[in-house]
Amino acid sequence: MGAPTLPDAIRKLLFGTPFGEVYPAREPPPPLALDGRTVALRLLRRYLAALTFYRTGATVIDPETRQPTAGAPVAFAIPENSIHIEWPDYEEDLVFPCISLLATAPAEMLAIGLTGYVEENSRDVFAPGTIVQWMSEYKENIALEIWASSKAERRAILSGLEAALSPTEQMYGLRFSMPDYFNELVCFTVSNREIFEDPDAARNRRRARLMIEMRFNLVALVNYNPLVGIVKVEVDVDQDTNEAVVLVEESERARERC
């Protein structure tokens, strides 16, 4: 995730200073094996797998009134292996209920600003002599695809997710710190939902979709050198102009002005 090591011939042609270029030169920090998107979606998957949903129980006929009443709510959860963040590497059967997190359009990488920005509180945290450099803001719209076996199950999942994706009183949306991505913050916000009614519903394959927006900062771990201030005092010759320095008392200057 650090700056690449460039051959001298290419470095001479590059306009600007690469992130993490220091003097004397040092090897760049080791790269991450995972990108920020994967880290963020894995965190979301863990969160969704920790939720408990409640669907309406089977209808019960009251023996006295002969009126139907809903049974006690039935709790269920969606295991982590039934929440998919990418297409699987091999063909596998979906076990309902399940959730798929699907990309719907190209992600955007938005400029942070006109200049670079580093997180000063990340100095030497992840490796000695390194700091976290912001690259751009990553923005992607993701379809949270829900598959269920019944109407009651689908309703329960939608109801639970709409509450769980905005769980805090301070702000709208769901936010996580990502320990596997330099503790950067990722934000998920729901934008709309859709229920699909198609022939598959008669085969106990009911589908719904929540559209969520994911945002976080793309960053890199780069080398740095601390800024060291130097104070230079000249008492005889100015080293910049090579002229003699004349030290005159203020009282003598006052007499000369008179």
Residue 47 has which token pair?
């969160």
Q: 3-state SS string over 185-249?
A: EEEEEEEEEEEECCHHHHHCCEEEEEEEEEEEEEEEEEECCCCCCCCCCCCCECCCCCCECCCCC
- Local confidence band at 249 (pLDDT 50, 70, 90 cut-offs): low
Q: Coil, strand, or helix at residue 146? A: strand
Domains of the chain, each with CATH number or no CATH: 8-228 (3.30.2000)
Specify the higher pLDDT residue, 237 or 54: 54
Closest CA to 55 of 178, 196, 155: 155
Mean of pLDDT values over 177-204: 89
Q: What is the tens place of the pLDDT at every residue in 18-58?
A: 878 887 888 888 888 899 999 999 999 999 999 999 998 87
Closest CA to 120 of 112, 131, 136: 131
Q: What is the tens place of the pLDDT at every residue in 127-184?
A: 999 999 999 999 999 999 999 999 999 999 999 999 999 999 889 999 999 999 999 9
Residue 46 has which token pair?
């863990």
